[in-house]
Amino acid sequence: MIKQELEYRVMQLLERQPDLTQRQLSQKLGVSLGKTHYIVKSLVDIGWIKLGNFRRSNNKLGYMYLLTPQGIVEKTAITTRFLARKQQEYEALREEIKLLRKELKRQSWEQNPDMVNLGSIKAGKSSVMEEDF
């Protein structure tokens, strides 16, 4: 997982559950505690999250992470970029599937000209995937 994606996921989790510990974050992210600490520290250092003491206690569990106004703005920007990237990936995949279907149909026709179509196309039905594309 790349650093930017981890930063986004950390901010997303902390926005919903600001009282998560780094150990809990680590488990939810599926990454090491050290990597989680590195990401959280970098987010604190750049001012996107802050560490708040919501109980006067020496207990480390008495702290929570809060998104700063700058962090909320940045999370929105990250979300926008992520969505744009995923939309591009979706469109590229959609085009690749379309080309593969054409190639498969062409190859099938060349190998057996008596065969009109393959699989669900032969039966006159479209598959779930075809309906999406």
- How many separate domains does the chain show? 2
Rounded-to-integer distance, Cα 26 and Cα 12, Å: 13
What pLDDT was estimated at residue 116? Answer: 52
Same domain, 58 and 92: no
In a domain, residue 72? The reply is no
In a domain, residue 79? The reply is no
What pLDDT was estimated at residue 21? Answer: 87
Same domain, 62 and 101: no
In a domain, residue 78? The reply is no
**Which CATH number goes with the domain that contains 33?**
1.10.10.10
Same domain, 12 and 62: yes
In a domain, residue 76? The reply is no
Q: How far is residue 93 from each of residues 96, 124, 127, measured CA to CA in Å? A: 5, 24, 17
What pLDDT was estimated at residue 29? Answer: 93
| DSSP line for 58-84 | S-GGGEEEEE-HHHHHHHHHHHHHHHH
| Full domain range(s) for residue 13 | 3-67
- Angle at which helix 3-16 crosses helix 33-45, to 10 degrees, equals 80
Strand partners, 53: 63
What pLDDT was estimated at residue 61? Answer: 52
Same domain, 60 and 101: no
Same domain, 93 and 44: no
What pLDDT was estimated at residue 127? Answer: 47
The one-digit pLDDT tens for each residue of the chain (133 residues) are: 688 888 888 888 988 888 888 899 999 999 999 999 999 988 888 888 887 765 555 555 556 777 788 888 888 888 788 888 889 999 999 999 999 999 988 888 777 766 555 554 544 444 444 444 4
Same domain, 63 and 99: no
Q: Where are the alpha helices (DSSP H) in 2-127?
A: 3-16, 22-29, 33-45, 69-111, 119-122
Same domain, 54 and 95: no
| Number of Cβ within a 10 Å radius of residue 47 | 12
